[in-house]
């Protein structure tokens, strides 16, 4: 009974603390860290699972170790970044007494440099994912602000044509410039489909099972 009472008291104290407006900015930083860790794990774990079992060789233990490492790295980095970004934004607002758009840019630049500045596979994928999104966003913003005229026709077909034309040209003639995971995917699609020996590795398998 004593333990139950202590637990209720602890929960009451914590919930009371969470309602304190003066701690809201600091608590938002902590929850941001939590959300970054959870979201990073949720989106990386299934991706790493599929890519590892499709394209990587090695023992089952080595594959699960690679999945765990990729998931941990993505989860940790996203948690660190959200913590840094929200913390720096709150600090700037506290110093200047108000929020301005430049606070977001500066806080994110510092966080990006510190957390995602290391050139590794995980950071490369995340940064390139964001690059494609911000190019779309900046294009739409430029149209909204009147910096460029609104297209009379949907430009998406032209965009798709250029994207696929360029990526296949790079793959066929300069594939070393592409990210390793993209090289693996495209090798599976375009190179491995040129090789077969019988129906087993034509329809059932991509490659013949290793002889025992």
Read off the pLDDT of each residue in 125-135 and give the average, rounded to a whole number.
Answer: 94
Q: How many CA atoms lie within 13 A of 151 on its CB side?
A: 9
Helix, strand, coil proportions of the chain in percent (round to 5)?
80, 0, 20
| pTM beyond cutoff 0.85 | no
Share of the chain above pLDDT 70, in %: 98
* 3 state SS for 44-90: HHHHHHHHHHHHCCCCHHHHHHHHHHHHHHHHHHHHHHHHHHHHHHH
Q: What is the DSSP string of 113-137?
A: HHHS-S-SHHHHHHHHHHHHHHHHH
Higher-scoring residue by pLDDT: 161, 184? 161
Lowest-pLDDT choice from 24-28, 37-41, 53-57, 83-87: 53-57
Tens of pLDDT along 66-109?
Answer: 999 999 999 999 999 999 999 999 999 989 888 899 999 999 99
Higher-scoring residue by pLDDT: 91, 203? 91
Lowest-pLDDT choice from 8-12, 121-125, 130-134: 8-12
pLDDT in the model for residue 212? 52
pLDDT in the model for residue 139? 93
CA 134 to chain centre: 14
Helices and strands: H and E segment counts in the chain: 7, 0
Higher-scoring residue by pLDDT: 200, 66? 66
Q: How far apart, in whole angstroms, are the C-alpha atoms of residue 102 and residue 89?
A: 10
- The tokens for 21 are 């407006």
Q: How far apart, in whole angstroms, are the C-alpha atoms of residue 90 and residue 27?
A: 11
């Amino acid at each position: 009974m004593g333990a139950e009472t202590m637990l209720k008291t602890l929960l009451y104290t914590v919930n009371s603390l969470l309602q304190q407006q003066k701690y809201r900015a600091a608590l938002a930083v902590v929850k941001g860290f939590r959300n970054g860790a959870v979201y990073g794990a949720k989106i990386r774990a299934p991706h790493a699972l599929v890519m590892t079992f499709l394209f990587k060789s090695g023992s089952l233990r080595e594959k699960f170790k690679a999945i765990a490492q990729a998931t941990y790295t993505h989860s940790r980095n996203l948690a660190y970044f959200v913590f840094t970004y929200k913390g720096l934004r709150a600090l700037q607002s506290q110093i200047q007494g108000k929020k301005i758009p430049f606070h977001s840019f500066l806080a994110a630049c510092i966080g990006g440099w510190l957390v995602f500045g290391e050139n590794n596979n995980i950071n490369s994928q995340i940064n390139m994912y964001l690059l494609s999104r911000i190019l779309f966003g900046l294009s739409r913003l430029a149209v909204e602000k009147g910096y460029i005229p609104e297209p009379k026709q949907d430009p998406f077909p032209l965009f798709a044509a250029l994207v696929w034309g360029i990526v296949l040209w790079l793959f066929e003639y300069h594939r070393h410039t592409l990210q390793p995971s993209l090289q693996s995917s495209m090798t599976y699609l375009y190179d491995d489909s040129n090789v077969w020996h019988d129906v087993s590795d034509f329809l059932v398998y991509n490659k013949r099972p290793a002889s025992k």
